[in-house]
Structure 1
C-alpha cells in the first residue's frame, strides 16, 4: 500500500505541472493588456504601466512568469491581484470556507439520498417504482441548474415561505439548504442511476446466490455483500464529483447570492484578474488529484479482491 501511494504521488507531479501550465498559458496568452484594461479610458504614462508590470512580475517572458508562480506556490504565494494588490491566497481564504460548507451539504445530500433511492430502485427493478425513479432522474438531468434554482426559489421561498430566497449568512446551514440541494441535484440523478444499475447487475452474481443459499439474513446479503461491491462505480463518480462541488458552481452561487469560489472566479474573469483565476484553478487541480487518490484507496476497502502491490 505504501509503495502504491508513493508511486501515485510521484505520478501526480507531472499531472499537476501540466494542468497548471495549461491553465496559466490560457489565461496569460489572451490578447490585450490586463494592466491597461484595468484603467480603461484613463491615460497612463508608459513608465507607470511598466512600473506596475514590474511590480506584479508581468514584465518577464511567459515561461519565467510561470516558473516564478510555481516556485511561489511552495511558499504559499498564489500571486497578487492587479486591481486591489490583494494577495490571491487571502481572496481564496475568504471564499473557500463558504464553498466548502455548500459543497459538503450538497455532497452529503447526494450520497445519502442518491444511494438510498438507487438501492430501492435496484431491488425493485422493472416495477412501477423503478420506472418512476427513472423519470425522476431523467427530469433532474434534463432541467438546467439555473431553471431548477429559480424554480426552487419560487416554490420554497415565495410560495411556501419555508426558506430564504438568497443566502444572507453563509454560516447558517438552514440558508444553505436550498442552494445545496439545487447544486447536488444533477449529481443525485447520476448516483441513483449508477447505484440502481450496479445493484441489478450484482443481484445476478454467483456470490449473492451463494449468500442466499447459505440462509444469510436479507439485510446482511444486501448491506454487506451486495452494497459494498455495488458502490465501486458510485465511489468513482463521487470522488470526481466532490472536486467539482468544491470548485464552486458559478450559476448556483450567482442565483442564491453565495459569495464562494464560483462567484469569485466569475468576477475575476470579468476583470481580467488572471492571477486569481490561475490560483483558484490550481487549488481545484490539487483537490481533484487528492480525491482521485482517495477513491483508488477506497476500492480495496469496498472489494477485498483488490490488492495494491
Structure 2
C-alpha cells in the first residue's frame, strides 16, 4: 500500500505541472493589457504601467514567466493580485467558505442521492422507481442557474423560510439552500448511478448464493448488494467533491456567497492572471487528492482489490 501511495504521489507531479501549464498558457495568452484596463478611461502614466508590468512579469513572454511562477509556487508563493493583495490571503478568506458550502452540498448529495437511488433500485418498476427517474431527469434537464433562481424566489421570497441571498457566509443555515442547489445536479446523477448499479448487481451470482443460504434480507442488502454497488458511485463522488468546489461560481453568484467561485469570477472579469492561476492550482491539488482517496477507498469496499 505504501509503495502504491508513493507511486501515485509521484504521478501527481507531472499531472499538476501539465494542468497548471495549460491554464497558465491560456490565461496569459489572452489578448489585451490587464494593467491598462486597471486605469479604465483614465490615461495611465507610462512609467507606472512599465513598473507594474515588470512587477507582475507581464513584460516577458508567458513561456519565460511560467518557470518563475512554478519556482514561486514551490516556495508557497501564489503571487499577488493587481491590487497588491497576496493570492494566498484571498484564498484564506474565500476557501473556508467554499469548503463549508461544498461539504454541505456533498452531504446532501450523498444522503439524498443514495437514498433516492436505493429507493428506485430496490423497487424497480414500481411507482417509487418511476417517480425517482422522472424527478432526476427533470433536475438534469434544468440548468443550475434556473434551479437557483427558482429556489431563491420560492423558499427565500415567497415562503420566507430563509434569506434569498446569503448575508453571512459563515452561517451554515444560510448556506443550506445554495448547497442544495449546488448539489442538485450531482445528486440526480448519484441517484441514477446507484439505481443502475443496484439493478445490475441484484442479479449477480453472489446475490443468489446469499439468498440461497437463507441470510436475512437486511444483511444481504447492506453487506453484499450495497457494498458492491457503491464502487462506481464512490468513483463519481470522489471526483465530484473537487467539481463542487470549482463549479460553485454560478451558485455563489446567485446567492452572494463570498467563496472561491465568487473570487474566481471577479478575477476573470478583471483579467487578473495571478489570482485565476493561483485558485485553479489549488483546485487541481484538491482534484488529485480526492482521486487518490477514491482509489484507496476501493480496497475498503471490495476486499478483492489490493494494492501491492
- In the superposition, the TM-score normalised over structure 1's length comes to 0.97
Q: Distance in 2 between matches of 1:47 and 1:169?
A: 42
Secondary structure of the corresponding residue to residue 168 of structure 1: coil
Partner of 1:113: 112
Q: Which runs of 5+ in 1 are unaligned?
A: none
- In the superposition, the TM-score normalised over structure 2's length comes to 0.98
Q: Distance in 1 between matches of 2:181 and 2:62?
A: 40
Mapping for residues 21-40 of structure 1, pairs under 5 Å: 21-40=21-40
Q: Distance in 1 between matches of 2:38 and 2:170?
A: 33
| Conserved? CA contact 1:248–1:261, under 8 Å | no
Q: Distance in 2 between matches of 1:48 and 1:150?
A: 43
Comparing 3-12 with 178-187, which one deviates more in the overlay? 3-12
**1:4 and 2:4 matched:** yes
How many residue pairs get aligned? The number is 308
Comparing 152-161 with 260-269, which one deviates more in the overlay? 152-161
Comparing 55-64 with 140-149, which one deviates more in the overlay? 55-64
Deviations 1:219-253 (A, max 9, x none): 11101111111001100111111001122411111
| Conserved? CA contact 2:245–2:261, under 8 Å | no
Q: How big is the alpha-carbon RMSD for the aligned residues of Structure 1 and Structure 2?
A: 1.1
Q: Distance in 2 between matches of 1:303 and 1:285?
A: 28
Q: Distance in 1 between matches of 2:241 and 2:44?
A: 45
Q: CA deviation at 1:57?
A: 2.4
| Conserved? CA contact 1:269–1:277, under 8 Å | yes
Q: Distance in 2 between matches of 1:148 and 1:60?
A: 44
Deviations 1:7-46 (A, max 9, x none): 1111111110000000000000111111111112322333
Deviations 1:267-287 (A, max 9, x none): 111111111000000011101
Mapping for residues 247-266 of structure 1, pairs under 5 Å: 247-266=246-265
Secondary structure of the corresponding residue to residue 78 of structure 2: coil
Secondary structure of the corresponding residue to residue 126 of structure 1: coil
Q: Distance in 2 between matches of 1:62 and 1:142?
A: 40
Partner of 1:182: 181
Q: Which runs of 5+ in 2 are unaligned?
A: none
Partner of 2:122: 123
Q: Distance in 1 between matches of 2:88 and 2:159?
A: 40
